[in-house]
Chain A
Amino acid sequence: MTPAPMSSVARVRRALTSRAASAAAIVIAIAWTVPTAGLLVSSVRPEERIMTSGWWSVLADPTLTLRNYEEVLFARDGSGQLASYFVNSFAIAVPSMVFVVVLSALTAYALVWLRFPGRDWLFVGVFALQIVPLQMALVPLLRLLSEGATIGGVEVLPAWELRGAFQFTPVWLAHTIFGLPLGIFLMHNFVAQLPRSLIEAARADGAGHGMIFRGIVLPLIAPALVSLALLEFLWVWNDLLVALIFAGGSVEVAPLTVRLAEMAGTRGGEWQRLTAGAFVSMVVPLLVFLSLQRYFARGLLAGSVKG
């Protein structure tokens, strides 16, 4: 490239690392954090204080309590019970994440290294599916699952009568379907960057596709897998819409988000519970993100640099 754009990039870089820019970044970071901090402070204040004064008045009147947490987590039926919804959230998020990651990696490998007719059309089709808003598919998919499908008088798919833990199946299926287009696209780009010579050498040594996938491709795309898993887990954990429609609100299947949305009571009078409830539901994404963030950064970087 010509030197002119380089120097303009360098100028931008200098501008971004100057003292003023750092100060601005700090101000933005603080402004961004203040509402969350306020929520945290509110969650440890007694109910009547939350209702009558702002969280900043804690400085003048430091009365703190863990009652809100106790109420949302373990209280008698009605107000809390978040503990059991916590389990549901895991039961929805973990399998959905595993399905998406496994299927995406397999599909990406097939799209890149298997020769079959219509391969490019398939990739473009998957790519195009990303722009279909999932809201459009909600009702047809729900109808397919609850009524089955009949084409020309022949029952192609029977209606599902799900009991027990299998009540999670529609949510898993929905999240997997909605997560796959992006997952496949991301994984495809990683897998396509692997050096062709590596795969060909393995093939020359007599390795089959299964062997190549497990022995060579998987270890090489591990950072990308982790970042996709992280992305998918956070997405499913924070989802309300899909869960509302495919899981419903019963205590057996509803995740934390659904419970959180109802926790303020029929007329919204008990909103002090939301403060503690929000933090309970935030704990897991925070832990997951903090413990895996180096993979996350590495996975994103790996995509940005042409190998």
Chain B
Amino acid sequence: MPTLPTRRCATAAATWLPLILIASGCAYLSGGGTGGADPESAECAPFRQWQETSGGTVTIYASIRDEEGQRMQRAWQRFTECTGIDITYEGSGEFEAQVQVKVDGGNAPDIAFFPQPGLLHRFVDSGDALPLPDPVRERAQRGWEEDWLSYATSGGQLYATPLGANVKSFVWYSPEFFADHGYEVPRTWEEMIGLSGEIAGDGVTPWCAGIESGEATGWPVTDWLENVMLSQHGPEVYDQWVDHDIPFDDPRVVEALDRVGEILRDPEHVNGPFGGVGSVATTSSQDAGQPILDGECAMYLMGSFYAAQWPEDTEIAEDGEVFAFNFPGVGEGTETPVLGGGEWVAAFDDRPEVTAVQEYLATADYANRRAAEGSWFSAHSDLDLDQLHNPNDRFAAELLRDPDTVFRWDGSDAMPAAVGSGTLWRAMTNWVNGADSEDALGFVERSWPRNE
């Protein structure tokens, strides 16, 4: 038994500690709030049209967190200071599951950033996400190409504006390594295969590859397959394939997958210093590209976001240690196929301050401020390219706005989740490990939800 004095102490502590914590909590909470800027000042000029909105708080929920989340909040800070609209931002790694819980629980955020159009359409179909108000829609149509907006359109209504973008058809390589050995950046698939043979002949494994990613193991192969589908068969067939208007194991898809196999399943072509074809499935997609820096492999297909994975002192430039080229087209064509992704800004409420924030996020002013914070680009057609400090961001943004570019969203994000983030990953992992192309694609075809 505890002696009386200690017990009295413990009881006192148990009674007072919560109160003290609550009191201190109150103090530190009420101390919050950003210092407002003078609404009449020149700094606030770009925000004049939203100043009539009488303040208020807007909650935003998204999967962007940590460093990237902070940069985003710094980008809209001036907007909040000048208009008096507070933005409460919350980023979570559990976004995809939690946003459903929040909406079902009647606690929906005012605005959510959806990383996949498929998820957005679930809320459009249930009637929770609201169509864009007219001023926001007009801004979206001025800022983005139809290629983009079609992914957020349902029944003739536009439901979301694009925010950031990423490009998934990047092949990372080392310009220094290429220059030292006299290699040229390939412009067609045939040149790329030729180059791979040449590098292999010089004693270096040309490709690094790694598809291990925990529960999501296999997803990098879907990028390979989508890139080849898009560049070999063109955007129309690609759309039919993603929408399941043609079978998933159509002969054209088998042909594309076999083409991917020319690189991923050829022991001459993979896998840098990690081992043979068998090591592709066990190498982490985060680490797989790193040997490029040491000249132990020459190329790595991975989205533009891989830029963040290079060590901090790496020079990313067209003549630096690493850079990227766009996945070359299969055969001749004037169009440049680009595969990519990004976020969508959709609203669950239409209070004036929510609409104001949504409208601001669709402006070039926001895009420029966000770009100035670094490591970001968007497909906004009025984005000031000089704000993009990283050469790879600039390259990607130029690619996206090039009139010859045919942009398509990452197909596996637009397919039903059971396929796009389920059976397809599994099938591709099996395929890398030696399964037959037709069997692997047939497995995905049979798993496609029937009731859609």
Contacts and interface: CB of A to CB of B under 8 A. Distances in A.
B7 A222 contact: yes
A222 B101 CA distance: 40
Contacts of B26: 164-165
A269 B309 contact: yes
B105 A262 contact: no
B305 A249 contact: no
A183 B2 CA distance: 21
A167 B420 CA distance: 38
Contacts of B90: 248-250
Contacts of A138: 101, 105
B126 to A, nearest CB: 14
A265 B67 contact: yes
Contacts of B24: 87
Contacts of A206: none
B25 A165 contact: yes
A142 B66 contact: no
Contacts of B5: none
B100 to A, nearest CB: 9
B45 interface: no
Nearest to B308: A269
Interface stretch (A13-21, A24-32, A38-46, A90-98): A90-98
Nearest to B98: A244
Contacts, number: 110
Nearest to A163: B29
Interface range on chain A (Cβ under 8 Å from partner): 35 or more
Interface range on chain B (Cβ under 8 Å from partner): 35 or more
Give the interface SS of chain B, mostly helix, strand, loop or mixed: helix
A266 interface: yes
A120 interface: no
A266 B105 contact: no
A3 interface: no
Contacts of B30: 164
B335 interface: no
A239 interface: no
Given A222-B7, A249-B90, A262-B91, A267 B308 contact: yes
Interface in A217-265: 219, 222-223, 244-245, 248-250, 252, 258, 261-265
B91 A219 contact: no
A77 B72 CA distance: 12
Instruction: Identify which of B21, B24, B92, B286 gathers the most chain A CB atoms within 10 Å of its CB.
Output: B21
Interface string A263-307: 111111110000000000000000000000000000000000000
Interface in B188-233: none
Nearest to B284: A268
Interface string B30-46: 10100000000000000
26 contacts: A77-B70, A79-B67, A91-B18, A91-B21, A91-B22, A95-B18, A95-B22, A138-B105, A139-B101, A142-B101, A142-B105, A143-B105, A146-B105, A147-B106, A164-B25, A219-B1, A244-B92, A244-B94, A244-B98, A245-B98, A245-B101, A248-B90, A261-B94, A264-B66, A266-B64, A266-B66
Interface of A: 48, 51, 77-79, 87, 90-91, 94-95, 98, 138-139, 142-143, 146-147, 164-165, 168, 219, 222-223, 244-245, 248-250, 252, 258, 261-270
Closest 5 pairs between A and B when the two form their complex, measured CB to CB: A142-B105, A147-B106, A78-B70, A146-B107, A165-B25
